[in-house]
Amino acid sequence: MSYSPAFLKSDIVPFPTLNENQRNSFNEENLDVNDYLLSYDNFSLLHNPFRKFPFYTATNIDGKLIKEIKRKELFDGNGDKWTKDSRIPDNHQFGTELYSAEKSDFDRGHMTKREDVQWGIDIESAKKAAESTFFYTNAIPQHKKLNRGIWLKLENYILHHETISKNLKIILFTGPVLRNQDPEFVTPINGMPIKLPTLFWKVIYYENSENELMRVSFITNQQDILEKNRVIKPIIVRTVDRLPEKSQHNFQKFKAAETYQTDVSLIESLTNLTFHKAIEIFKEKRPVRLIEQSTNVRGLTDTVIIKNITL
């Protein structure tokens, strides 16, 4: 089954909504946005045919039903098997032409983590769900120092330290920030320049002990690493206005003054998506430029420290 908005008991959590300009971009090309809302096992995603990456993925995670399956056990033990999704045009998604290109010093970064959907009533259903994450529509180029560093640590914290250990059910939205000012990949693909996302975010919905719907969000950045390794052309990031003042209460904290935690209003302002309302303790006050600078990952040894967790 694909993403279910009714996965949590306290409220319906619908897909994030596009703004008018984003919807109009589909209409201008005579495309139906619903054709790009793709269903997989335990998750769905909305694909952006213009950037050829997902706007977001939407995942249901049931900590009680997670199955332990090693990655090497998938696809009959033959290793990863990435494929394009035949439900949308081939030229509306990237595949090996991007990930095997010259200077493609990056991983196929899962937006919905393989293990996140690796649950079900039996091993076979969990394995099928895990294999469904290996579509290129669910991938975005991520430098290994992000994908195997802070991003992985955050993914593992959400899944293993919270969802599984506390037998929680959560909803997880994940995606890139797709901006016009994103940097160009140094290698043209099929003779055309392409832009690579540098910012990635997660928005988590869960129920507290009083069955109230809560949400929390995180953001990280790979621009510095991509520039340092000459994967992208250098860019200048613009500054925008400050965001609302921070609450006196902190929900989750990362190293260096909540470096990677933010509030959903920031994610909305960057992505132009609108998320379902829920109780949110953390309030961001840093300018976007400072956030982008402070969330730039440095290496595989970057440390995540999360305190006062109350999922």
Residue 292 confidence (pLDDT) above 90: no
Per the domain annotation, does 137 fall within a domain? Answer: yes
Question: Where in the sequence is the domain holding 28, given as residue range(s)?
Answer: 20-294
Per the domain annotation, does 278 fall within a domain? Answer: yes
Domain count, the chain: 1
CATH at residue 25: 3.40.570.10
110 is an active site residue: yes
For the entire predicted model, the pTM comes to: 0.88
Per the domain annotation, does 179 fall within a domain? Answer: yes
Per the domain annotation, does 10 fall within a domain? Answer: no
Question: Residues 200-247: pLDDT tens digits?
Answer: 999 999 999 999 999 999 999 999 999 999 999 987 654 343 333 443
Per the domain annotation, does 282 fall within a domain? Answer: yes
Among 28, 22, 29, 59, smallest CA distance to 43 is for: 59
> Which pLDDT does position 302 carry in this prediction?
52
Task: Tell me: is residue 147 an annotated ligand-binding position.
Answer: yes
> Which pLDDT does position 256 carry in this prediction?
30
Catalytic option among 110, 143, 160, 161 = 110
Task: Read off the DSSP letter of residue 8.
Answer: S
User: 């998506």: which residue's tokens?
Assistant: 273
Per the domain annotation, does 3 fall within a domain? Answer: no
Question: Residues 159-202: pLDDT tens digits?
Answer: 999 999 999 999 999 999 999 999 999 999 999 999 999 999 99
Phi first, then psi, for residue 69 (nearest 5°) are: -135, 125
Per the domain annotation, does 204 fall within a domain? Answer: yes
> Which pLDDT does position 282 carry in this prediction?
78
Per the domain annotation, does 15 fall within a domain? Answer: no
